Structure 1
């Protein structure tokens, strides 16, 4: 509770600093659409704070197009339909020129029809399941080929994993990601009997049978690995049950896609040490850019214990790309910004650059990290930037699709029929 209070106080200070002395007629408004209450508040409040920090820094440089930026913060309260209502309010009532927000895929899916109807612009900063490309969204988090697929390759090639437990929370991101991974593993020659899939509700607590099932996979002597799309506090019980069963990271390694520095902060990491996570950024990245970002974050929040994480970097990338596109377009108009943004590049925090692709995804490096007892990660592997793929190559209906907004004006271009599909995939 103390850490959450500190987060909210830091956010309030940031909002005050951002909003003071701004002349209403001389500002450019952006929306911040992140949950400040409810189950997602701790994760999303950090991203709200990140946007406010970026606004403060950009305003200190003179703003954009000669105007100061005003951040309009709303709280959708971890209520997925309320995300759509708040997005409509931001665009239609507040008149924002861009929105930075959403975390879960269900919140993004809720906002999507509103953004498209009103021709708004959303920068979405969290890793997701892919199978989407909207004209009105810039996806600054990882697609499956920038996280899930390379993580499986690492486990198979470096750890010798032969049998797979795909464990996830029961909603769209884990289900779609695991559907892709099942198909990918089959292409790698893994038989269906060597893949175990299980879904649990948010905040699931009784992991005894599931862990027993995972352990049983290895009775034939094959190396078992867990690919985890478990979200939220359910992770605590899962790792505790593994430890209680005497299972270490050496016995059955867990590769998580939703456990990062923020989730580990303040937790007892004794049960997690040695397990793995795949992201595009870790706070332990040793670059001048990252060192400066961490220093700026601590100065903004007034708290040197506040960690950084992957969605924060993705938020920073989205904001900097928006500023660069607005300046190049000479306008904040959605269509003008979208015309300018494809092909733009900005530095990331790991020493390379992020480039906006015609499918509205970015190039991002893939990092594999091992959890340390201090809640940070030792970086074991890092790739060159990988182009994000909106439509996976490992599902038949998606493999024939491309997204090309500047060239085709289409997010679902069927390369076989050479036509634009109008209905999104069911995955």
Structure 2
């Protein structure tokens, strides 16, 4: 089993500091920087930007590995229009400044046609100014809070209305109305909890407290003391990475248990449970569109193939890994369409993005079952699921949505406008571009 450190890893979220840390040779002017180009038979270069070290490596390292696995699959099947995909793999080191720096390197120096990566919204927000200014494309393969409408991103994970909107009423119905929120201190947990408070109120629940710890923190003593005094029926957690592991361990060590007070999470899946020790995860809940336990032929092929490959060292699959795997096949379908419509030498990241609108992955490609990219907001239609961690570390699926749920990035902000392919359509009818 992989070992992870608990070291603190975030120095600063300032984008200005990230830009200032770049090597002078990478501060290229628009006139000097060349755009990515494609040529038949030549490798198609893409960036893989995840944290392979530091606290965020817990979920991100395996996403980098599964992306390489998917690329190998595609290349072994003939690549794209006769060209292999060439991954350029970068360690973001769980540091927001490094994410920003490495994105610039991938786009300006390595001239990749698209980048796959990031896990936290903090890292996504760190890289997107470069992605947008260079008109490149990020495939973002995990859950996030919404409230964005960028023309340079395709998201294959769930929005808040595709996971916590199902999870909150389920927990209230089955465990009680009294809830305590715990999250990492950055934009995704805070914005997710804005959504969760609305759905908690709709379900007749009561919020007893809301606490945030620094991203990367491993100290939860004061939070657990507040939980002990509040006596909630369950915890709603948006704690991520190594902090998530520390929280679950200290929760049990403090004498709490899942039978009396389960943790309902948006992030604690098979990888985190394996890393923390299954005794710390058993009995708790996760909302996600994918679980390793999904019983279908495509998932069996995916699980057996990945875990049997040189990349499958984690011993499990996980929602973030599967969403990353799917992003590779969305990219394949979109770039093939862009080539057919424009000719290979004319394909740009923007044309790939445009071609991704409406891309469907059938049930014989996507391990979670059929999914498709929304034609307007470039998020993905998914079937939400809720799983409970078992004593062996696997998840038993206890609830599945009746049908696919539309991704709604502004679900709790109806007056903000509607995300379209051209930008955010304001109530006035005007379009505002690159909202992030």
**TM-score w.r.t. structure 2 length?**
0.84
Determine which of 338, 361, 370 is the counterpart of 2:353. 338
Change (3 A) 1:323 1:2: closer
SS of equivalent to 1:386: coil
Hey, what's the Cα distance between the residues in 2 that align with 1:190 and 1:278? Answer: 18
- Asked if 1:109 corresponds to 2:120, the answer is no
Select which of 369, 388, 391 maps to 2:407.
388
2:230 equivalent to 1:217: yes
User: What are the equivalent positions in structure 2 for 1:282-361 lying under 5 Å apart?
Assistant: 282-301=291-310, 306-330=315-339, 331=344, 332-347=347-362, 348-361=366-379
- Counterpart Cα distance in 1 of 2:405 and 2:371: 11
Q: Give SS of 1:300's match.
A: coil
| Alignment pair present for 1:281 and 2:290 | yes
Distance in 2 of aligned mates of 1:176 and 1:389: 14
Please report how far the alpha carbon of residue 140 of structure 1 lies from its aligned counterpart in structure 2 after TM superposition. Answer: 1.0
| Alignment deviations for residues 331-373 of structure 1 (CA, whole Å, 9 cap, x no partner) | 4422322222111100321333333341010011111111112
Deviations 1:214-256 (A, max 9, x none): 24334xxxx6221101122333443344334543223122101
**Equivalent of 2:220 in 178, 182, 207:** 207
Q: What is residue 77 of structure 1 aligned with on the other side?
A: 93
Q: Is the 8 A contact 1:317 1:354 kept in 2?
A: no
In the alignment, the residues of structure 2 paired with residue 272 and residue 75 of structure 1 have an alpha-carbon distance, to the nearest angstrom, of: 28
User: In the alignment, is the contact (CA less than 8 A) between 2:249 and 2:276 conserved in 1?
Assistant: no
1:304 CA drift (Å):
7.1
For 1:114 and 1:342, how far apart are their aligned partners in 2?
22
Instruction: Assess if the C-alpha contact under 8 Å between 1:122 and 1:137 holds in 2.
Output: yes
Q: Distance in 2 between matches of 1:57 and 1:103?
A: 23
Q: 1:413 to 1:293 in 2, by over 3 A?
A: same
The Cα shift of 1:212 comes to 3.5
Contact kept, 8 Å, 1:123 with 1:139, in 2: the verdict is yes
Give structure 2 stretches of 5+ with no counterpart: 5-38
Structure 1 residue 310, shift from structure 2 partner = 0.5
Contact 1:163 1:195 in 2 (8 A): yes
Residue 226 (1) aligns with residue 262 (2): no
Q: What is aligned with 2:278? A: 269
Aligned residues: 392
**2:16 aligned partner:** none
Q: Would you say 1:132 and 2:132 are equivalent positions?
A: no
CA distance in 2 between partners of 1:161 and 1:154 (Å): 10
Instruction: Note the C-alpha offset of 1:121.
Output: 0.7
Which has the higher mean CA deviation after the structures are superposed, 176-185 or 314-323?
176-185
SS at match of 1:281: coil
Equivalent residue number for residue 431 of structure 2: 420
Shift of 1:268: 2.4
Give 1:37-76 correspondences, 5 Å limit.
Answer: 37-76=53-92
In structure 2, the partner of 1:9 is none
User: Which segment drifts farther, 109-118 or 76-85?
Assistant: 76-85
Give the C-alpha shift of residue 422 in structure 1.
Answer: 5.1
The equivalent of 1:11 in structure 2 is none
Aligned partners of 1:388 and 1:110: how far apart in 2?
A: 23
Confirm or deny: 8 A CA contact 1:286 1:350 kept in the other structure.
no
TM-fit CA distance, 1:190: 4.3
Q: Over the residues paired in the alignment, what is the CA RMSD in angstroms?
A: 2.3
Residue 203 of structure 1 and its aligned partner are, at CA, apart by: 4.2
Normalised TM-score (structure 1): 0.85
The separation in 1 between residues aligned to 2:359 and 2:234, in whole angstroms, is 38
The within-5 A match list for 1:181-260 is: 181-190=196-205, 194-218=207-231, 224-260=233-269
